[in-house]
A and B are shown apart, each in its own frame.
Chain A
Amino acid sequence: MADAATIPENLRAKAQEKGWPDDLLQQALAAGASPDQLISYMDRGISAEQARQVMAGQQGAAAAAAPAATVPAATAAVVAAVTISDELRAAAEKANWPLDLVEQAVGIGASEADLLNYMNMGVTADQAREFMQQQAGGASPFEPDLSWMNVPTEWNTRARPTKHGLTLDAINIGKYGDVPDVWPFQTEMPRGAVPIPGVEGMGYSIFEKQEVWSDACAPLYEEAIQRRWRPATDVPWDSIQPLPDDLERAICQICTHISEKEQNEADILGRWEPEISYGYHEVKLYLATTIFENARAVEVFRKRALSNGGGLGVQSSGWGFRSVVDARNFTEMSTIQMVLHDSITLGQYIYGEKYAKNAAEKFIFAHSIQDKARHIAYGITHLKYALLNRPERREEVQRYLDKGETMLVQDDRKDPSTRAAFAIYFGGGKDNIGEGLRIYDEMRGRALRQYLARLKWATLDRTERLHPDLKAVLEAAS
């Protein structure tokens, strides 16, 4: 034992408050307890008598039971004064935690409930002991483990900015640009990092490249980031002047319809994001921009509806939404949403731009065109990738589109408000709704023609298989 230890002032003050005499303090300090530990014991209500008894009578046994190198004698002595419930004792036995470890943990303030939780979670006795040692500032000093600095990842990587800046494609070099056909990890480990054993899975369900990939998703992500716009300040809101009541009601109904379906797309893509494993982070990033752009569309069309004396209209019948919500795999969802539905929506935007009644609406539709065309670009390039890599999925995709088109037709039949609102807007008023309906049909025909052309680019010919009602629209418009 060392010479009588010096008692710090704060420890002496606490000891006087709690009735611990100086000789007990010196004995504990000499046994290896730190001043902070002793203050902590006093604060937990351990009396001088309890401490003295165990220091005097049980020090040897406690020190022998606990690993001498890890538990100071004074700590072992003090914790010996605690009592352990039968439930905790049984749980400790089951979890292979020695009783002295449990006593030590309770002695330094751990609750029984917490200890039971740790045991049930599978925390081992060694892990608990190590943790307690660190918390107590134990005998062995903390030595940083620097083995991670020798991690066998690809080193000396020096990506260089391009004319577009330092893009995702620019950093996809060497091993980091190797996108595997199957991603074998269930954790959130970044592609190119080194896995460690024992990490918990993150619940991903998509591990095959063909299920989500598009070679365009990295440049589309960069494009979306670069071409962003701000509805609050970029739209020339002052250009909006009072419109005749029928036209204001029409544009407000159109805004209601668009807000609803853009929110639906955001919600759906948001549900798929956590399904895609980290190996395909370019896809995850691109979809995040799509969700953001959906949100921006919800924002800007809602703002238009509420900015000129009007308000929102009636909701949509929602048949088309369900065909996307109910999709059971990613390619089914993306093909119906980002090829079929977004082709229809893009058609509405390009005709909205043409028939805009003021510079604000012109701006809104024109910028929404850009965003929506990007969504389609992902949908169609992914479809092409999936079909080229899994040609046996061709009929499967045709069936998804059968369903999607059928639900779209249901919306046409059950949702007269959208068609009439566009017709009034295009025609310039209720009195010219006949001309407006002609333009509406022209819009649908054009959108369907472009939809088929895009599918053809993706190697899927749907000319003959198009839903009969849509085929009729196409033929009438040509």
Chain B
Amino acid sequence: MPVFPSVEWFEALKNIVNSSPEFRHNGTIDTVVGVKAGGKIFELTFEAFECERVREATEDDLRDMDFWMEQDDETWKAMIENIKTHGKADLAFTLNTLDLSQAGEGLCRSHDGYRRDAFYRFNQSIQDFFDASAKIDTQFAAAVA
């Protein structure tokens, strides 16, 4: 059972969306996305119609990403559980809604005022990527659980 957060967990989502006609139906997605969770940083590279690469990254790598998503571990867990329960994020747990629900900078952050907008331009594809977690059983790392 993949553990969130881990490269293995993101690889599982990558494999699901890369074989999904629905994900391809969203259209091309070209962006490099960071995820900060459980004290770790992950880099997701999307190119053309698929998730090209998943790897663990460092704080310095964030500068080269279009944007990264950061929220407390409790909210990450609630989001993933919500997706599992409903088959996809319900009205209260979409990435955009979570972005607006947090005080301060929000879920989506960036060093670049233009590249941050990739979060909006490819929003549905990124949402579908996380919604794919409904198809796996997630075990939460101790830092998140």
Contacts and interface: CB of A to CB of B under 8 A. Distances in A.
Interface string A227-244: 110000000000000000
Given A353-B94, A367-B124, A223 B28 contact: yes
A446 B117 CA distance: 13
Nearest to A373: B120
B45 interface: no
A453 B113 contact: yes
Interface in A14-35: none
Contacts, number: 76
B120 A356 contact: no
Contacts of A374: 121
Main secondary structure of the interface of A (DSSP, over half): helix
A115 interface: no
A138 to B, nearest CB: 57
Contact of A457 (B91, B94, B114, B127): B114
B100 interface: yes
Interface in B97-133: 97, 99-101, 112-114, 116-117, 120-124, 127
A359 B97 CA distance: 13
Contacts of B48: 162-164
Contact of B120 (A346, A381, A458): A346
Chain A interface size band reads: 35 or more
Contact of B100 (A351, A372, A453, A455): A351
Given A453-B116, A454-B113, A456-B113, A370 B100 contact: no
Q: Which of B48, B49, B114, B123 has its CB near the most chain A CB atoms (within 10 A)? A: B114
Interface in B1-54: 26-28, 30, 47-49
Contacts of A362: 91, 94
A370 B97 CA distance: 15
Interface string A431-469: 000000000000000100010011111100000000000
B119 to A, nearest CB: 8
Contact of B117 (A223, A356, A373, A455): A373
Nearest to B120: A373
Contact of B28 (A226, A346, A359, A381): A226
A374 B100 CA distance: 20
Q: Which of B26, B27, B117, B127 has its CB near the most chain A CB atoms (within 10 A)? A: B117
Given A350-B96, A354-B97, A163 B117 contact: no
Contact of A163 (B47, B91, B101, B124): B47
Interface in A338-374: 346, 350-351, 353-354, 356, 359, 362, 366-367, 369-370, 372-374
Contacts of A346: 120
A322 B114 CA distance: 27
A369 to B, nearest CB: 5
A105 to B, nearest CB: 58
A376 interface: yes
Contacts of A164: 28, 48
A219 interface: yes
Contacts of B47: 163
A106 B98 CA distance: 80
A275 interface: no
Contact of B96 (A227, A354, A376, A446): A354
Interface string A93-114: 0000000000000000000000
B117 A377 contact: yes
A133 B27 CA distance: 56
A455 B113 CA distance: 8
B121 A366 contact: no
Given A366-B123, A373-B121, A450 B100 contact: no
Interface in A216-264: 219, 222-223, 226-228
A199 B99 CA distance: 55
A380 interface: yes
A455 B124 CA distance: 26
* List of 4 A-B pairs having minimum Cβ-Cβ separation, nearest first: A453-B113, A227-B27, A226-B27, A373-B120
Interface of B: 26-28, 30, 47-49, 91, 94, 96-97, 99-101, 112-114, 116-117, 120-124, 127
8 contacts: A164-B28, A227-B27, A228-B27, A350-B96, A353-B96, A359-B91, A370-B120, A377-B114
Given A227-B26, A372-B120, 9 more contacts: A163-B49, A164-B28, A350-B99, A353-B94, A359-B91, A381-B114, A450-B113, A455-B113, A457-B114
